[in-house]
Structure 1
Amino acid sequence: MLENNGFQVPQGEAGGAGRTTPSPLSLSKLLLFTFVLLITIGAVAQVANFEVGMFITQWLLILPPALWFLKRYKLDFVNFARFKSLDLKFVPTLLLLVVCAWITSMFAASALIGLLMNYGYEPLELIPPPETLGHLFIYYLVIAISAGVCEEVLFRGAIMPSLEKQGYFPALMFSTLLFAFFHGSFINLASIFFLGFIIGVVVIKTGSLLGGILYHFLNNALAVTYLYLANNYNLESHLMLDDYRVLILILLLALAGVFFGLRKLHEQGKGIYIWRGKERWLPRGWLNWAAVIIFLLFVIMASLELLMGFGFLTVV
């Protein structure tokens, strides 16, 4: 291994003229640095003003390290990071996947929260619901667009393709795990992992980072729209969400939509096989000191979330 400014560069792994492929340790260091910025400067900024803090977090704390990383390793933003145009044939499939996968994730998170509430857990308001249409529009800007662009450049533009020489599947799994830990929530861990996994599949199958950006944007836009409607129009009662038969029907339709959407995406992305030739679940070198620290930071944040939810810890 050669050491390049604190990042390990595997010898002999070239991905183009003047370009080397970063190692899992290099990527873990990148994310650890960004994670520390998020839980320090980003957290303070969001407490002071949520909307401004979200904007600062995404555009000043998450995106610049990712862009620096791509430039430092001379990684082609077009071919390596897949910043290419998105074939419009994928759009209907992505729309179906977004809606159905979001509904499925909602059920999973709600089931976990319902289980914990039996033991005294009170759900935390992690994102203040938008109260007006103007407020909702701001949320589209700082949550849907900002996260859709900045987080995708980091996770699916820099981290995931850096590992694809070891296979699509290990690269997809490792980048998705880091994505889930990065959000620091136990309650939403499974949902965020599911989101990151599907976005990774979308980017690989479409061959375009714009596919991931569009999916991430639509997912977050759907989430904040639901927050707005639920907060202002008592959406649950109108949708008869207290009827378990309706809930089961919605869940079954959503699961069927996810299955059909992934199958359609597989057919449209001909010649790209994520699971073919899979020799391992995670890339070589995935277990490193930086990745361990990222996991420990996640455990701390998830523990604080649970302690506050169960009333053992109060933030003034």
Structure 2
Amino acid sequence: MSSINTNIAAMTALQTLRSTNSELLQTQNRISTGLRVSSASDNAAYWSIATTMRNDRQSISTVSDALGLGSATAEIASKGIETGIKIASEIKDKLLAARTPGVDRAKIQTEITELQESLKAVVGGASFNGQNWLQTSSDDEDARTIVSSFSRGSDGKISIGTISVDLESTRLVDTSTGASAGGILDADIAMATGTGTVTVLDLDISALEDTTEDLADLEAMISGVDAAIEKMTDAASTLGAVKTRIDIQKDFSDSLMAAIDKGVGQLVDADMNEESTRLQALQVRQQLGIQALGIANQSAQSILSLFR
């Protein structure tokens, strides 16, 4: 039956064309965004998982940045201690030279004074991002913590890991004014004669003579500087171990971010080869649909010939 009120062929062609246009729009959106799932309406489950993983990835990226700062701070402190050990060793060598009777200890002290100023400058300059692990106060907390990890459990709860740095073992100069204040370099060295105490940073041999008492005090200074060098060596080893741990954790964080990117991509990324092939097919279907709709609409015109 032919009807001018209801053109079944045109309605069918129109419905097919609308469906094709909808699929074509979806394919074009995937090609333009590169995503198979770009919103919750595409796939609610995958979109939710991908959104959570992206947020976690951003948090891990922040942790990686924090680890980078911590690694740089540890490296600066380590370099400062290594330089401090070299300078302290030179001071000890000068003291050993001063142990020889008859030498001009005032001139040797001039050299020692310059080395002491260099040592103070090295300790004060071993700072990164406003933190100096070599020059701290014993009145404050004896540890610094660095955020080292971020993870999410199966129940959705997050956990944050930290790496602790013991500043008491790396403190070369104590900025505290308390009675018990003292780092490795400003710790008291008792004189053998019981005449008082000195530190590596302020010892003075210019007034010492070749008496038994003065030579005993000089030997006490040598022993005190040598003990400070040993403690600085231990502190450098501690900082080296901390830096190694930080670097390992940073490498793991970077690998974890790459794995998350890969996992998210497998969930939501579009296969461009598949989508390009699909686009070509849909464009052909769209053209055929338009032609079919045109033919269906022309069929109604043939009814007019019956009334001529």
Q: Does the alignment reach a TM-score above 0.5?
A: no
Structure holding more strand per residue: 2
Greater RCO, CA 8 A, separation 6+ = 2
**Which of the two has higher C-alpha Rg?**
2
